[in-house]
Amino acid sequence: MAETLDPALPPEVQDRADKVLELASDKELYLATAESCTGGLLAALLTDVPGCSHVFERGFVVYSKDAKCDLLDIARHKVDSCGAVSKEIAIEMALGALRRSQADIALSITGFAGPAGDEEEGLVHFACAIRDGKTFHREEHFGPIGRQRVRLEALNTALQMLEQALRA
């Protein structure tokens, strides 16, 4: 169970995080994250569980376009042409996290938590890349449910994807 984040998390998110960490530990696999709209919350959650956080290899908080390019080695023209919140960039983020780490599985999150101006509030793209394996994408439209709820829903979705990858 998470210690510092526990009071803020719904029980199902906490339970899913515990399961992901247990599966990764049992399979001796290492995880990495590349996060934009969640600002490192997934990395914080995966390192907050005593006795299991050793499976977390590293996390990248890449909130800006420059950070995505600099830290994850994404070509600037891709970010400019596809948009920082897109299927293509979510996939590039996950692959970049694998390239820049020793992790076996990387999960990326990029979206508009809100308010989003002219963009669709609650639109979030996820990608999960498995070293020497497949990369999966998921697009969610959480809607204008508020910044905190979008981020919590994103955490839950990211954990679902990690669990599916670990079970594959």
Report the pLDDT value the prediction gives residue 4, as an integer from 0 to 100: 59
The domain limits of the chain are 21-143+158-167
In 3-state terms, what secondary structure has residue 126? strand
| Interatomic CA distance for residues 50 and 69, integer angstroms | 33
pLDDT in tens, 7-21: 778 889 999 999 999
pLDDT in tens, 112-166: 998 878 999 999 999 999 999 999 999 999 999 999 999 999 999 999 999 999 9
22 CA to centre of own chain = 18
Report the pLDDT value the prediction gives residue 128, as an integer from 0 to 100: 98
- What's the rounded mean pLDDT across residues 46-54? 87
Report the pLDDT value the prediction gives residue 6, as an integer from 0 to 100: 63
Domain 21-143+158-167 falls under CATH 3.20.20.330: no
For the chain, the helix, strand and coil percentages under 3-state DSSP, each to the nearest 5: 45, 20, 35
Side-chain half-sphere exposure of 68, counting CA atoms within 13 A: 30
Report the pLDDT value the prediction gives residue 115, as an integer from 0 to 100: 85
On the question of pLDDT at 2 being above 80, the answer is no
